Every structure is written in structure tokens, then in C-alpha cells.
Amino acid sequence: EVQLVESGGGLVKTGGSLRLSCAASGFNFDDYAIGWFRQAPGKERDGISGISIRGEHTYYDESVKGRFTISSDSAKKMVYLEMNSLKPEDTGVYYCAAFFWSRSWAPLFLGEADYWGQGTQVTVSS
């Protein structure tokens, strides 16, 4: 059974930090890229960061560049999103998702993935 399970969300004040984790199982982790998506209240789900096989390539949306860091541990089938200098506009449900890596971030931009997690809530208070 394919599973992506996010954890690490919570309530934090502006300027604070959180570390999200995504645990993957049930598929060949090394064939897939993992993306983090954020869905703010009343808005569409947007891809904000991604990491390719063995961490060779990473992507950051401009809204998080310089503040968020994505990393992976292939042996543990884990992907992490370190979020620093959080802002109220970072509030939303964060999903990790897996898409077959074809050296393109298009699935991240299009919101298309093969497997999705259930999401974890991040709330940044002002």
C-alpha cells in the first residue's frame, strides 16, 4: 500500500520555525521526486518546493526561497521541509506528494502527482 504521511505541523508565531516530515512507503522511492504543496484558506493548492531522486535537484517557489529548505533521506524514505522566518501568509495545509521523476518540475507547477499525503496544518499567527 502506498503511503505518504506528513507530520510536524502546528501553530507558530511570525518569525518562528517548523520542520515538516514526509514518510513514504509502498513505492520505489528512488524513482520519484517529492514535492511539498501548500493550500492556503480559500485558495488553490500550490507547489512550493520539490526534491528529486537522491536530492540531486531542488526547487523552491519564490514565496519560500531563502526561508525554506527541502532535504531527503533515501535510506529512511523521508523528506523534510525546514521552514524558517515563517509569515502569516505561510498558513495553510501542507501536503507532500510523489511524482515520477522525469527531470521536470511540471507536476509541481500543475498540481499533478501520483501519490498524495493527507496533509498537515501549519498556522502562523501575527
d(CA 14, CA 12): 7
- Position 12: which residue type? V
Kindly report the three-state secondary structure assignment for every residue of the chain. Answer: CCEEEEECCEEEECCCCEEEEEEEECCCHHHEEEEEEEECCCCCEEEEEEECHHHCCEEECCCCCCCEEEEEECCCCEEEEEECCCCHHHCEEEEEEEEECCCCCHHHHHCCCCEECCCEEEEEEC
d(CA 82, CA 63): 14
Kindly state the cell numbers that stand for 123: 498556522
In this prediction, residue 23 carries a pLDDT of 97
Question: Which residues of the chain are modeled with pLDDT < 70?
Answer: none
Summarised one tens digit per residue, pLDDT across range 30-55 is 899 999 999 999 999 999 999 997 88
In this prediction, residue 54 carries a pLDDT of 80
In this prediction, residue 122 carries a pLDDT of 98
